[in-house]
Structure 1
Amino acid sequence: MIDRRRFIEGLGTAALTTAALVALSGPDALNFGKMSFIGAAEAQTVDAAKLLEPGALPDQVLGKADAPVTIIEYASMTCGHCAHFHATTFPVLKEKYIDTGKVRFILREFPLDIVAKAAFMLARCAGEGKYYPLTDTLFDNQKAWAFNNNPAQALLAIAKQSGMTEQQFNTCLNDAKLAGQIDEVAQRGAKDFGIDSTPTFFINGKKVSGAMSTEELDKELAPLLGAN
């Protein structure tokens, strides 16, 4: 167990390589650099303009740029609560709010371990328009790769299904610059916005911790959308 300060300081020391991921296959994979959280929700509001300032990586955005509500989710690809949100609530969020122009959605990287970091790197390497299709696939099949005795091989199989070659897969996971940028996104989330659990959402700047149900989502959005 490590505290938030040690987690933040240690993120940059884990230069991810394919060899490192393979070496960490099995039970140790999800303990490497893992942060232990107390899942207590905080009532907190962050300056929405500061949240949207450019970071180490360009935001991957779903929805209309002029949507009245912006939801930013900090997630880890190996987080079971995050996978549950994306399986149960996100489809409603997309159909009811994103596709209708009411909400703009941004997923930001907050990997809790090296396997989650690898998954996010692959999503970033997937190519134009493939970030969300691949993160959706990874969340949908989380048990098959995140808790697999050989996460590298499991991730490679999913990457190939998305159109990535094995060479592209290896090149992606050996990209030290990209690994560092993902670290910076997570560090900024922790330092500037107080992220200490996943998933954590900001709804027009209001911090909401935990995997929201569809009812909780509707309750949060109703006062912001009014008659929209």
Structure 2
Amino acid sequence: MRSRPWKVIAIGAIVVALLAIGAAIGARNDSDSNSATNSRSAEGAQQLADLARRGDNDPFAIGDVDAPIVIIEYADFTCPYCSAFAVETFPTLFEKYIEPGHVRLEWRDTPILTEHSENTAIAGRTAAEQDLFWEFYHRMFEHTLAGSKDYSRDTLIGVAGKVNGMDIDEFTASLDAPALADAVRREGAESQSLGVTAVPTFIVGNEVLQGAQPIYVFEQILDEQLGEDN
């Protein structure tokens, strides 16, 4: 197996975290070929695949529910690297893989960076209640990529106002919904329980990728996995 120049988190370590036996996520060694490691990696790949929800009408997912590959994005709206992915990489990923039905993208709240992380995640869920999560996602990350540190309530409402079709009165009222805050905290805790301690982190089919990687990195992984499915 050829080595890759980007940072990939160990599949086996994610599985260990999932099985709650306390190992930390480490760097994957592509040259390890012993049978025990291969077996653990195969088990890890299946565990990663099982994290996909594939729910019908999930407002936090985009793409065919039966797509061969699911990418899970663990991210924080206040993260500049997450915003780089959303603004610079997502459009090509959507055009080449999501829209044709090859890939489904699922979002997971991982509000771990700043004092504003939780409020912005709640705002995302507020937009999702109007089935406008992905439209808000792009507007919110454009705001972050521009370098703004302002995530006040008025600013979040202003970002939502840029989304076509958003009912701002409904959006504003939902920002205070305890159920949405509880949902953000639950999913954030779940993300961290899997060993996700940095954002963005992506589960790309049966691999784990960290950081705002350029599109060619996603292309190589996806093309390999899609080829294996054929």
TM-score using structure 2 length: 0.71
1:1-228 counterparts in 2 under 5 A? 41-44=8-11, 45=44, 47-52=47-52, 60-112=60-112, 113-126=114-127, 127-142=129-144, 146-148=148-150, 151-162=152-163, 163-165=166-168, 167-191=169-193, 193-226=194-227
Distance, in Å, in 1 between the alignment partners of 2:106 and 2:86 is 13
Runs (5+) with no aligned partner, structure 1: 1-39
Q: Based on CA coordinates, which of the two structures has the bigger radius of gyration?
A: 2
**In 2, Cα distance between the equivalents of 1:146 and 1:168?**
25
Greater RCO structure (CA 8 Å; 6+ sep): 1
Deviation at 1:164, TM superposition (A): 3.2
Are residues 195 and 187 of structure 1, via their aligned partners in 2, closer, same or farther at CA, if it must alter by over 3 Å?
same
Alpha-carbon shift at residue 144 of structure 1 (Å) = 6.0
Partner Cα distance (1:199, 1:135) in 2? 14
Counterpart of 1:11 in structure 2 is none
1:95–1:147 Cα change, 3 Å: same
Q: What SS does the aligned partner of 2:116 have? A: helix
Gaps of 5+ in 2: 1-6, 12-43
TM-score relative to the length of structure 1: 0.72
Label 1:169 to 1:60 Cα distance change in 2 as closer, same or farther (>3 A): closer
User: Which letter does structure 1 place at the counterpart of 2:100?
Assistant: T
What RMSD, in angstroms, separates the aligned Cα atoms of the two structures?
2.5
Give the Å deviation of 1:219.
1.3
Would you say the 8 A contact 1:78–1:146 is kept in 2? no
- Which amino acid is 2:216 matched to? E
Q: How many residues align?
A: 184
- 1:161 counterpart SS class: coil
Assess, with a 3 A threshold, how the Cα gap between structure 1 residues 104 and 225 changes in structure 2: closer, same or farther: same
The answer to whether the 8 A contact 1:48-1:205 is kept is: yes
